[in-house]
Amino acid sequence: MPQIRFEFKYILDTVQEQALRSAVSHFMEPDASAAKRGGWYPVTSLYFDTPQLADYYDKSGGYLIRKKLRARIYEQSLRPETPEIWLEIKKKYDMSFEKERCLISQDDWENLQQCRYTKALSAPRSEQDKAVLHKFVWYLLQEGRHPSFFVRYQRRPYRDPHSDLRITFDNRIEAYRHTDLVEPLFPKQVHAGAIMEVKFSRNTLPGWLGTTLRMYNLSRDAFSKYGIAVERLRSYDTMPR
């Protein structure tokens, strides 16, 4: 069963981002996966939505229970030598969330793109990955989902060595209406500032974090990278509400 965690988001300007990163670095350490890549790494996602953009409208409509399906890599663009492709099902329950993910191969990805679902499902994999892949494909077929939006940003992650607290700073968010993880020619920047995400499973946050947030007068925001991408890319044809 996926673990229930909490997720708080804060929109930061350039000055706030530098100050918060400095404060966080005094109490937390850079995530190992980013430390070996200069402190940050790219996150590239391809979101699967329905023809009616149900996920977007669930978010913009303020629904407390909603979900997103996406494929994700930790590179600028999908390449033949890309080591990992992840399929993720993220379900939100107000301020908490659970995420299920499975690792797939390049062949699996090509089979999914070509709608060869039986072939993808029959490939050998762990029981846990198999269960997530079956669920992912079920949502594709049951809800008519298809790859819709390419979203990419730079992430600087920090972890608490004594708990599961994780804080990330995401910036340079860009997107494109696209159907693949291969980089489009002209992605559009959809948000200029940074987003700080605080993820944890305990009911309380450390005192130093609360003090820092109050110091900079920060409050939680319901920001969605996917949501802002859809709205910015459809600015010529405003989304009906």
Q: Yes or no: say if 156 and 25 are a contact pair by the CB < 8 Å rule.
A: no
Q: Yes or no: say if 41 and 66 are a contact pair by the CB < 8 Å rule.
A: no
Question: Hey, is 148 helix, strand or coil?
Answer: strand
H or E element at residue 151: strand 146-159
Is a pLDDT exceeding 70 seen at residue 56?
yes
Mean local confidence (pLDDT), 125-139 = 97
DSSP result, 70-126? EEEESSSS--TT---EEEEEEEEETTEEEEEEEEE-HHHHHHHHTT-HHHHHHS---
Domains observed in the chain: 5-233 (3.20.100.30)
Flag whether the pTM goes above 0.85: yes
Is a pLDDT exceeding 80 seen at residue 239?
no
Is a pLDDT exceeding 70 seen at residue 1?
no
155-205 pLDDT, tens digit per residue, is 999 999 888 999 999 999 999 999 999 999 999 999 999 999 999 987 678
